[in-house]
Amino acid sequence: MSNPLTPGSLAGKRVLVTGSSRGVGADTVTYFAEAGASVVINYRNKEARANKLADKLRAEGATAITVGADLTDAASVASMFETVQEELGGLDILVLNASGGMESGMAADYALTLNRDAQVDLLTSALPLLQPGSRVVFVTSHQAHFIRTTETMPEYEPVALSKRAGEDALRSLIPRLDEAGITFVVVSGDMIEGTITATLLERANPGAISARKESAGRLYNVAEFAAEVAAAAVEPIPEKHTRYVGDVSGFAPELTD
C-alpha cells in the first residue's frame, strides 16, 4: 500500500497516534512520519514493539518518540502529554485509534471505560497542546457506528455499544473544538482483515470474518485502512464529520446520519 500523503507535506507537524505500536496505528503513524511529521508512538504494554518501530522510522530520517500510557489512568495520560510537550512543544494532529474490550480477564465495565471515558478524558487533556488548525481523528467501526440501527455479532456488541458511546461523547465536544479552531473527523471502517479485533472475533465466532467479507464484497486490510485514517487527518472535513471506509449498504443509517 502506497502512502496517501505527499512526501514532505507534513514537515513541521507533530502527530500522536494512540495504540500505534502495531496494527492500524503503526501503519498510520508510519505514513505520517514518511510525510515529514514528527510522530509520537503510543503504547500500553508493547514497549519493545514501539521502540522497534521508532528505531525504523528514525533510521529513515524521521523524528519519532515512544511514550507508554494506560489511557484509562489519568496520571498516566498526564505524564504522556508532559513528555510530548517537552519533546515536541505541542500537537497538530491527534488520532484516537486505541480501543479494546474483547480482552479476557478485564473488568465488566472496561470497554466503556476505555472506549468512552478514556477517549473523552484524553482529548480534553490534549486540548492545551493542540493549536488552532489542528485535527482530531477518532477511529471506529461500522459495527459500532451503526449499532443503534443494525445488530452486530453478539461477541462484539459490548464493544460496539461502548465505541458508539465514545463517538457520541466526542461529538458533543465539537462546538468546544470549533471555538478553539480544532477540526474533528470520525473514520468508520468495516471489519479490517488482520487486526486484533478481527482475530478475537474469529476465535469467538468462527467464520464471522469470512461471512462479513462475502457480504461486503471485500474487506480492507490493515495498511489500506491506515491509509484512509492518515488521509482523514489532512483532507477536508466530510459531511457530518464522518468518513466511511468500506461498504455501508448493509447498515441502516440513523436519521441524524
- Spell out the per-residue pLDDT of the chain, length 257, in tens: 689 999 999 999 999 999 999 999 999 999 999 999 999 999 998 889 999 999 999 999 999 999 999 999 999 999 999 999 999 999 999 999 998 876 766 777 888 999 999 999 999 999 999 999 999 999 999 999 999 999 988 888 999 999 999 999 999 999 999 999 999 999 999 888 767 667 766 777 787 777 777 776 777 889 999 999 999 999 999 999 999 999 898 898 876 65
Helix, strand, or coil here: 6?
A: coil
Query: Cell digits for 207?
Result: 467464520
Question: Is residue 4, in this structure, part of any structural domain at all?
Answer: no
Radius of gyration of the chain (CA): 17
Segment (H or E) for 170: helix 157-171
**CATH value at residue 91:** 3.40.50.720
For 67, the domain range is 14-245
Query: What backbone phi and psi angles, to 5 degrees, belong to 3?
Result: -70, 125
Domain count, the chain: 1
Grid cell in block for residue 128? 492545551
Q: How many CB atoms lie within 10 A of CB 234?
A: 17
